[in-house]
Every structure is written in structure tokens, then in C-alpha cells.
Amino acid sequence: MSIKHGEMETNTEAATQASGIPDLVAVMNAGVRYSARELGKLLGVRAPLLNEMLARALESGTLREAGRSANNRYWIPTAAELAHKARLEQRNWWCQGALTGYDEERTQFRNLCMLVRR
């Protein structure tokens, strides 16, 4: 087997894996949670290829995952879940900067406490 032939096999496998995500989405219903075993049976795919497809779908944001255990649950988020996540992400924009003046106020308070007699 030549190196060029090996590269061609790798490219073919990558194309197969990339095309598996639309098949995965076509089999699933939005909001319904599926185990990896159920998805494997629905697609007729073995575990190694299914795990790669699921990893790619999770990275792209197409699927969500609940838990990291033997009975993982995967689902396509509904429009309400996506809107809720977007709203939560917008909430935290106000506190992105560094705190200013905190050390100075703390030093003043410490000095004041040192002046007070006990």
C-alpha cells in the first residue's frame, strides 16, 4: 500500500463521517433523547463510527449531550432550548471586565480597622 493510497482511504473515511451527521439528524426528532445504542440501531452503524459521528455533531453544536456515562443521552435541541441558551449567554456580558478600586478600598478599610482600639 502506498502513501497516496493511504491518504485516499483517510479522505474517504472523513467524507463518510462528515456525511453521517445529516443522516444522524434525519433519524432523530427534536427534543427526544436517544441513547447511543438506540442511535446505532436506527442508523445501522457500529460503535466506533457512531462515536465519531456523535463527537462531530457535538462539536458543531447540532446535538446536545446529557451526562458522560455508559447511558449517555443525545438530543437535538428545540427552538425553545436554543432561545433559552442564547438568553443565558447574553446575561453575563456585563461582568466581563476586571474589578477596579477593590484593592484600594480594602487597604483603606484595613487601615481604619487598625486605628480602632479594641
Q: Tell me the pLDDT tens digit for each residue of 56-91.
A: 999 998 898 887 666 778 999 999 999 998 888 776
Number of structural domains (the chain) is 1
Q: Helix H segments across the chain?
A: 3-27, 36-43, 47-60, 79-91, 102-115
d(CA 19, CA 56): 11
Q: Tell me the pLDDT tens digit for each residue of 32-64.
A: 999 989 999 999 999 899 989 999 999 998 898
More confident residue, 10 or 93: 93
Q: How confident is the model at residue 116 (pLDDT cuts 50, 70, 90)?
A: confident
* Burial degree of 56 (CB within 10 A; 0-12, 13-18, 19+): middle
Domain with 93, as residue range(s), is: 3-115
For residue 100, what is the domain's CATH number? 1.10.10.10
